[in-house]
């Protein structure tokens, strides 16, 4: 469904963030993209929906090469790709409901959205989504009154109300505590399953990725150095992806967290 062919990005500064990446993501598959800081994870996600312009290569979404689209075509194609960010990117002074509905901007046209007149069907869907993520009672709260986990749930609803085929998720849990991080990862992966959505989830927490996704892609210096099952990520493989680091220690720490959670 999504196919990256020789996808390359060299920034003006000369940084080679992606080096001829080839990657296939089948319909409905959720994968985690891991790798050290600067490996090119965000660049890859952003090149797919062209928030960053690729230098060369193709991004095939079904039969369309997104790198070839003009602004009208790109606007339509972006409806198919929901984006979820680390920093949530909510509009602080708007309500939860309004933030969710803003996900429909690609559909309703400028004036209707400016006047905030969304079709009733959109409003109904927003209520359904908020209910699904456990925030129905918060629909009228302002975004700046929410906790980090609640904000990310709103971000998830806003991405899903676009009715995308693919979710592009950049460090969804980086600002959250460990327990909330697990809840958010669980929610994202469950929603993908319910809706048959494919997703690429950038995540630096390896143990968290291993808990929730069936496929892990490891990026280092703009190249794919691992693509396989989460269980195949041996300490050696992790060292290959991240360089020298004490992985045993990281994993033990997560086990402790789990025990604390279980005891609660």
Ligand X SMILES: Nc1ncnc2c1ncn2[C@@H]1O[C@H](COP(=O)(O)OP(=O)(O)OP(=O)(O)O)[C@@H](O)[C@H]1O
Q: Does 49 sit near ligand X (CB under 6 A)?
A: no
Using rule CB under 6 A, residue 53 touches ligand X:
no
15 binds, among Mg ion, ligand X, none (CB under 5 to 8 A by kind): ligand X
Q: Over the Cα atoms of the chain, what is R_g?
A: 19
Q: Please say whether the dihedral angle defined by the alpha carbons of residues 111, 113, 119 and 121, taken in this order, is positive or negative.
A: positive
Instruction: Select the residue interacting with ligand X from 2, 25, 30, 35 (CB under 6 A).
Output: 35
> Residue 38 or 106: which CB sits closer to ligand X?
38
Minimum distance, C-beta of residue 36 to ligand X, in the bound complex (Å): 7
Can you tell me the distance from the alpha carbon of 86 to that of 255, in angstroms, rounded to the nearest whole number? 24
Whole-number Å distance between alpha carbons of 17 and 19 = 7
Q: Does 41 bind ligand X (CB under 6 A)?
A: yes
Cα separation, 48 vs 50, whole angstroms:
5
- 37 forms part of the interface with ligand X (CB under 6 A): yes
172 lies in the site for ligand X, by CB under 6 A: no
Instruction: Tell me the number of residues near Mg ion by CB under 5 A.
Output: 2
Q: Which of 84, 212, 106, 219 is nearest to 154 (CA)?
A: 84
Cα–Cα distance measured from residue 124 to residue 160, given in angstroms and rounded to the nearest whole number: 13
| Helix 120-132 and helix 148-160, axial crossing angle in degrees, nearest 10 | 140
Minimum separation from the CB atom of position 45 to Mg ion (A):
8
Strands 56-61 and 166-170, bridge-based pairing: unpaired
Least distance to Mg ion, CB of residue 150, Å: 23
Task: Return the H-helix or E-strand segment holding 64.
Answer: strand 64-65
Tokens of 29: 């598959």
Query: Is 42 a residue that touches Mg ion (CB under 5 A)?
Result: yes
User: Should residue 99 be labelled a site residue for Mg ion when binding is judged by CB under 5 A?
Assistant: no
> Shortest approach of ligand X to residue 202 CB, angstroms?
6
Listed ranges 12-20, 138-146, 161-169, 223-231: which one lies at the site for ligand X (CB under 6 A): 12-20
Interface with ligand X, residue 43, by CB under 6 A: yes
Binding-site ranges for Mg ion (CB under 5 A) = 41-42
Binding-site ranges for ligand X (CB under 6 A) = 11, 13, 15, 17, 35, 37-43, 204
């Amino acid at each position: 469904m999504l196919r990256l062919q020789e996808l390359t990005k060299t920034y003006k500064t000369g940084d080679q963030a992606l080096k001829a990446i080839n990657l296939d993501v089948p319909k409905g598959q959720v994968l985690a993209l891991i790798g050290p800081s600067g490996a090119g994870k965000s660049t890859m996600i952003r090149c797919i929906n062209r928030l960053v312009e690729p230098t060369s290569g193709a991004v095939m979404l079904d039969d369309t090469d997104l790198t070839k689209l003009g602004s009208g075509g790109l606007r339509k194609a972006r409806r198919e790709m929901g984006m979820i960010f680390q920093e949530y990117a909510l509009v602080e002074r708007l309500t939860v409901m309004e933030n969710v509905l803003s996900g429909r901007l690609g559909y309703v046209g400028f004036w209707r959205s400016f006047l905030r007149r969304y079709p009733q069907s959109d409003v109904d869907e927003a209520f359904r989504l908020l209910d699904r993520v456990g925030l129905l009672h918060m629909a009228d709260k302002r975004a700046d009154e929410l906790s980090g986990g609640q904000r990310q749930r709103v971000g998830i609803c806003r991405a899903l109300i676009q009715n995308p085929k693919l979710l592009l998720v950049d460090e969804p849990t980086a600002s959250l505590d460990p327990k909330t991080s697990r809840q958010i990862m669980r929610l994202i992966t469950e929603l993908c399953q319910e809706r048959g959505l494919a997703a690429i989830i950038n995540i630096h927490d390896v143990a968290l990725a291993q808990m929730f996704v069936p496929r892990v892609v490891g990026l280092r210096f703009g190249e794919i150095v691992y693509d396989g099952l989460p269980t195949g990520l041996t300490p050696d493989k992790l060292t290959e992806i991240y360089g020298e680091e004490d992985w045993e220690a990281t994993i033990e720490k997560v086990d402790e967290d789990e025990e604390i959670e279980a005891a609660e």
